[in-house]
Structure 1
Amino acid sequence: MQFSARNKLQGTVKEVRVGAVMAIVMVQVGENVIESAITKDAVEEMKLKAGDKVTVVVKSTSVMIMK
């Protein structure tokens, strides 16, 4: 599968919080945790669960740097 996004981070699903329509998926990437809000349907279709190895793809027009 190819993506135009260049920011791809390998990680492990730490937690999945499923709501009525949306879900929050927390992915451990090194020392950091990235949270993604996706649909409940997407979580179910991918059968996402804690411990799964995933790739986080970031496509954004605004990425901030803090020092």
Structure 2
Amino acid sequence: MRISARNQIKGTVVDVKKGATTSHVRVDIGNGQIITSAITNEAVDELAIKVRDQVTVVVKASDVMIAVH
């Protein structure tokens, strides 16, 4: 995967909580730090995001996205 965003942080998914339309994905980036991303349930399903997955948190402006590789 290639992306232009420079703020990329690798981590491990520690929790996925689905709501009515939006999921909160918690990613452990090390040293006791957790980043939470709010993404659509559809994105979670399409990317098959689950606990213990290795992902990259991509921060662009005020958005926090998840990249699966």
TM-score, with length taken from structure 2:
0.83
Query: RMSD value over aligned CA atoms?
Result: 1.1
Runs of 4+ that moved beyond 4 A: none
Q: Which has the larger radius of gyration?
A: 1
Q: Which has the higher contact order (CA 8 A, sep 6+)?
A: 1
Aligned residue pairs total 61
Q: Extract unaligned runs of 5+ from structure 1.
A: 62-67
Q: CA deviation at 1:19?
A: 0.9
Stretches of structure 2 that go unaligned for 5 or more consecutive residues are 63-69
1:2 positional shift:
2.1
Question: Does 1:35 pair with 2:36?
Answer: yes
TM-score, scaled to structure 1? 0.85
Instruction: Quote the residue 1:16 is aligned against.
Output: 16
